[in-house]
């Protein structure tokens, strides 16, 4: 009788160990999934920051030239840099600069799609650059 109880107890401890291994496996699987998602969010944040820096770059050029109407070659070189991830650009990106009819406001738009994102899941960064017109007297602003 006592032998049968010991055998049954050994069987129960084996089941307990298997259940513990299964629970630990699910926990580890959850942590791996969480880590993968954290990396994905980190890359997305990095791309958004890079878009802001690239838009700031063309805005600084406009402020330096004191006009939003830049030469086409300057805008094209900037757009090429935006589209090239090898030189701090963004993946699958386009950069555009649209100047309003008044000539003192430019809308800078950068659109990109992360390599892991499906077609149609584009990200967009838009900023407006306003360069006030010179004073009526013709003198430069202080």
Asked which of 3-17, 45-59, 81-95 is least confident by mean pLDDT, the reply is 3-17
| Residue 142 predicted with pLDDT over 60 | no
pLDDT value of residue 140: 55
Alpha-carbon torsion, ordered 53, 106, 141, 74, to 10 deg = 60
CA–CA separation, 87 and 90 (whole Å): 9
DSSP 50-90: HHHHHHHHHHHHHHHHTSS---HHHHHHHHHHHT-GGGT--
Give, for 46, the enclosing helix (H) or strand (E): helix 2-65
pLDDT value of residue 62: 94
Instruction: Pick 140 or 67 by higher pLDDT.
Output: 67
Instruction: Pick 135 or 11 by higher pLDDT.
Output: 135
Average pLDDT, the chain: 87
CA–CA separation, 124 and 102 (whole Å): 25
């Amino acid at each position: 009788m006592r032998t049968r109880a010991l055998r049954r107890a050994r069987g129960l401890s084996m089941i307990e160990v298997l259940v513990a291994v299964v629970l630990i496996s699910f926990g580890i699987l959850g942590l791996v999934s969480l880590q993968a998602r954290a990396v994905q969010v980190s890359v997305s944040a990095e791309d958004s920051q890079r878009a802001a820096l690239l838009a700031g770059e063309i805005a600084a050029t406009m402020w330096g030239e004191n006009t939003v109407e830049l030469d086409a070659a300057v805008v094209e070189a900037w757009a090429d840099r935006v589209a090239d991830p090898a030189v701090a650009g963004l993946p699958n990106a386009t950069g555009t600069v649209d100047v309003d009819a008044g000539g003192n406001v430019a809308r800078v738009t950068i659109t990109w799609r992360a390599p892991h994102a499906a077609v149609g899941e584009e990200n967009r960064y838009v900023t407006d650059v306003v360069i006030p017109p010179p004073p009526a007297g013709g003198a430069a602003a202080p």
